[in-house]
Structure 1
Amino acid sequence: MNESATGGQPWLRLMPGLFVLLWSTGFIGAKYGLPYVEPLTFLLIRLGLVAVVLALVALASRAPWPKDWRSAGRIALAGLLVHGVYLSGVFLAIAHGLPAGVTALIVGIQPLLTAALSGPLLGERVSGRQWAGLLLGLIGVGLVVREKLAVDAEHLAGIGYAAAALVGITLGTLYQKRHGAGMDLRSGTAIQYAATSLVLAVVAPLTETMQVQWTGELVFALAWLCFVLSVGAIFLLFALIRRGAAAKVASLFYLTPPVTALVAWAMFGERLGLLALAGMAVAVCGVALVNRR
């Protein structure tokens, strides 16, 4: 991010890297938790808990709330896209057997889609150098997950869910940038999680058994995803969206599959070949081009 996007303060310059690291662990949390609970039930528990916690924090800290129902509705809609559609799509894709690497690749196309839409929707200018960086980042992501691209007809449903997640996070990022600039992170995010939880409370019982096996792995995954991802990473994402152009912020998602691969190698011993390492380097170069002053 450039200085205008970080306010020139050193700690703000660490925000993009910290966001990428935290966001990348979402796939690891899903791997830990999904064997013991169905995806939408998992998300309902996760987002419901976070909505209650953030509402209490907002009330205790006297955070400002939206002044009218129209503003609250816009905040809720952004949350349904960023949290509801995106997270449901990712969890359902993995639950249907789509490898995490392939899911990450499909969602990793988001920067290109965001850049293509940020011009007509937000009036942001994407330069030729930034387009080159976005394409370079896509190539790098493809190299990282190339070994996991053997997808058969069995995984078509998972691909569809991952594509829905891609659309959700892209439109949610753009909508948040356009209509959520003045949103207080405490009260606004509480509204978003509450709205998404209400929708999941209707959909999950209609599509799943709602059975949960309370194991240590599930409790750990739930705690991590609730507080590190749903609070820490989302706060960072909205702060970055507020401070920087949408296309630049979206380019950070290119780093998610490489970092996820690194975390999986460290935690589960998954192999990283030379092609994956080369892809990581290419993705980093692409992000650097997009975010260069």
Structure 2
Amino acid sequence: MPQHRTPLTAHPAFAAFAPWIFVLLWSTGFIGARYGLPYIEPFTFLLIRFIIIVTLLLGLALVLRVPWPRREQLGHIAVVGLLLHGGYLGGVFYAIDHGMSAGIASLIVSLQPILTAVLAQITLREPVAIRQWIGLLLGFAGASLVLLEKLIAPTAGGVVITIPTLIAIVIALFSTTGGTLYQKRHGGSMPLITGTLVQYIAAGALVLIPAFTLEQRVITWTPQLLFALSWLVLVLSLGAILLLMLLIRANSSARVTSLFYLVPPATALEAYFIFGERFGLMAIGGLILASVGVALVVAAPNSSGR
């Protein structure tokens, strides 16, 4: 299947720096959720976020006069939106709001590369080398060490893992995996801005249901909530998601999703500086191990060709 590479994604600097920028941006989503959720219910939070981002993307599309998706593309784009934004974010926000720590949530979601690599062999017939399998396992082990220390540390605080929160985070795991694979297979030629707009419209329609049936939609407008909402809209929903679409377009699914192994260590670092959560030698070792694992997965195989 053709890769539909653009001049931007074909540039060497993009291949070198974009993955790391994406990891840094994506990891802040767990921090933003924890920062804002004490003042708003999870699906109401997501609904407001999606309404704002749809408005911004619509304005951007009209100003730039970018092309719109073809009619036959709309269904595929909507499916990606339901999975990658609605199912994934809905599961994460619900789990964190109902007591699961951001670290545990990020650890479970970090299983995505292994799941994606297996499913990519079945659905996309993408080969995964033994070196990549080793990297995937090392990445998972490293992320586990980071979060294991947070569980056993006396200052880690209480962790609530219930059946509903576990189901929610597993739904998030399968949603982001399915969304990535579906986007790779059916969304390669999707117009970036307007296609992402359609994705968020579909995701908004999904979270609208629990927001109006399961929640009271009570909002306490605080500076913390406003900051979290602004960050999640501008940095995550605009910056990180558009960058993810470019990464999926430029790379194989296994390599793209392997980057998620760095999200738990990055989240741990951010939590240290923002919330004062400390980590020790075990976590530092996990950070190094996860970085080595990702390097093994994303490193291009030796060959004379491109």
Q: Normalising to structure 2: TM-score of the pair?
A: 0.91
Specify every segment of 5 or more residues in structure 1 that has no aligned partner in the other structure, as ranges: none
Question: Mean alpha-carbon deviation: is it higher for 160-169 or for 11-20?
Answer: 11-20
Task: Give the aligned partner of residue 37 of structure 1.
Answer: 40
Counterpart secondary structure, 1:145: helix
Q: Is the 8 A contact 1:85 1:164 kept in 2?
A: yes
Aligned 8 A contact 2:26 2:240 in 1: yes
Q: Of 221, 231, 242, which aligns to 2:249?
A: 242
Equivalent residue, structure 2, for 1:272: 279
1:290 deviates by 0.4
Which residue number corresponds to residue 132 of structure 1? 134
Correspondent of 1:185 among 187, 192, 209: 192
CA-atom RMSD in angstroms: 1.7
Partner of 1:89: 91
Q: CA deviation at 1:59?
A: 1.6
- Deviation, 1:147, is 2.9
Distance 1:284 1:5 in 2: 25
> 1:199: Cα distance to partner?
2.1
- Listed as ranges, the matches of 1:142-221 within 5 Å are 142-149=144-151, 155-221=162-228
Q: 1:6 to 1:132 in 2, by over 3 A?
A: farther
Q: How much has 1:202 moved relative to structure 2? A: 2.5
Q: Give 1:12 deviation, angstroms.
A: 4.2
Aligned residue pairs total 289
Q: In 2, distance between residues paired with 1:264 and 1:253? A: 17
Q: Superposition pairs for residues 253-268 of structure 1, below 5 Å?
A: 253-268=260-275
Q: Is the 8 A contact 1:102 1:148 kept in 2?
A: no
Q: Which amino acid aligns with 2:123?
A: L
Distance in structure 1 (CA, Å) of the matches to 2:234 and 2:80: 20
CA contact (8 A) 2:107 2:144 kept: yes
CA contact under 8 A between 1:44 and 1:197: conserved in structure 2? yes
Show the counterpart of 1:114: 116
| Uncovered stretches (5+) of structure 2, i.e. residues with no partner | 1-6, 153-157, 301-306
Cα deviation code 1:57-107 (max 9, x no counterpart): 112111111221x31111011011000000000000101101111111100
Name the structure 2 match of 1:79.
81
* Offset at residue 31 of structure 1 (A): 1.3
Give CA deviations for 1:35-70 in whole Å, capped at 9, x if unaligned.
Answer: 0000000000001110111011112111111221x3
In the superposition, relative to structure 1, how do residues 255 and 153 fare at CA in structure 2: closer, same or farther (>3 Å)?
closer
Structure 1 residues 11 and 127: CA distance shift in structure 2, 3 A = closer
Q: CA deviation at 1:267?
A: 1.3
The one-letter amino acid of 2:115's match is L
* Cα deviations by residue, 1:90-139 (Å, 9 ceiling, x for unpaired): 00010110111111110000000000000110111101110110011111
**1:155 Cα deviation after fit:** 2.4
